[in-house]
Amino acid sequence: MEFALFLTGGLWAMAARTAADHSADGFAVHFHIDLYEPLLAAAFLVFLLLTGFAAIHWIATHGATMRGVNALPLRSTAVREWGLGAAIGWALLVAATLPMMLFGDLHPHFWFQPRGFGLALLSVLTLLVLTLAQEAVFRGYLFGRLIRAIGPTLATLLMSCIYATVSSFHPQSTPRNVFVMFLMSLLFSMAYLRTHALWLPWGLHFAWSACTAVLFGLPLGGSIAFNSIVDTSSSGFDWVTGGLYGPEGSLFTAVAVLVGMGILYALTRDLAWAYTQPVIVAAGYPMDVAPPAEHIKMEQAAAVAPLVQILSTTPSASSTMPIIDEHLRSNSPSDT
């Protein structure tokens, strides 16, 4: 059943991508807002994915909520998880691009115009929604179903292979960037497994993408469609700079991602303890042993027997000691 849900969800994800692109194109043409078409496509895709996965799961199980199905629980640490992921993603990109600056030849071109800042903001919003859609597909509902079907280890390897295979269809793709994308998918999957939610991998994925395309102006997955106030061209060895595919095609990125796995593991110890530890269920032998039959009869007999109240009384008989009797008579109130 879980594997069937995985396949059904995968077919829905492909259909949703096509439907979102066509819908965004229609809106952009009708309302003459071609500039916002990528953002609309990403927003439509997120809506179709989240609602579609929830509907598929409800048809199969008649239960669960949209947030639960899509691994987006509303909990107190959600903002912290997203921020931690964003910090790690930004740090890994900086670590990966530093060797490019030292050993490669990067040529940044700046465009400090009001329109440039507006386009950069629009690109950030588009990447914010688009990375959520990507994580909902590769680390959300489908990943959860695959984990239940074949276990977390095999599910992580299989989803990483699929993620890397998808990246290979880009015209600028090389075997080197396919390997790097496989490692990055392992990192994102690890972020999910440490928290059982998308907040951490979403923040990590967004920070990496936004910093690459908008902050540094480098190609993102071979695409230069995201506008920025910085446009950086590179020359030199492709294994250093990633070439036309961007930092995700650099071997330095592979090293940064491997180091990032250890950092991620260390910084999420408390989150993993809170959200991934199994629930402790009491076990052992029952201790509610029935009392003996004779004891039960005694309790029943005591329940129906009349209550007898014993009151304190003053003794009327004389004491057997004359001295005590004489003392009591001499101190009685009648003698005073």
| Alpha-helix runs per DSSP H in the chain | 2-31, 37-61, 66-69, 78-103, 114-135, 141-150, 152-167, 175-195, 199-210, 238-241, 251-267, 269-275, 293-304, 322-330
Is the pLDDT reported for residue 285 higher than 60? no
Is the pLDDT reported for residue 323 higher than 70? no
Predicted pLDDT at 336: 45
Cα distance from N-terminal residue to C-terminal residue, the chain:
102
pTM: 0.81
pLDDT digits (tens, 9 = 90+) for 201-257: 999 999 999 999 998 888 888 888 887 788 887 777 788 888 888 889 889 999 999
Q: Residue 311's pLDDT band (boundaries 50, 70, 90)?
A: low
Contact 53, 32 (CB under 8 A): no
pLDDT digits (tens, 9 = 90+) for 39-62: 999 999 999 999 999 999 998 887
Predicted pLDDT at 206: 96
Is the pLDDT reported for residue 191 higher than 90? yes
CA–CA separation, 126 vs 118, rounded Å? Answer: 12
Q: How far is CA 299 from the centre of its chain?
A: 57
Burial string for 223-243 (b: 16+ CB within 10 Å, else e) reads: ebebbbbbbbebeeebebbbb
Is the pLDDT reported for residue 95 higher than 80? yes
Q: Residue 101's pLDDT band (boundaries 50, 70, 90)?
A: confident
pLDDT digits (tens, 9 = 90+) for 267-283: 999 999 999 887 666 66
Mean pLDDT of the chain: 86
Predicted pLDDT at 317: 57
Predicted pLDDT at 187: 96
Per-domain residue ranges of the chain: 77-275
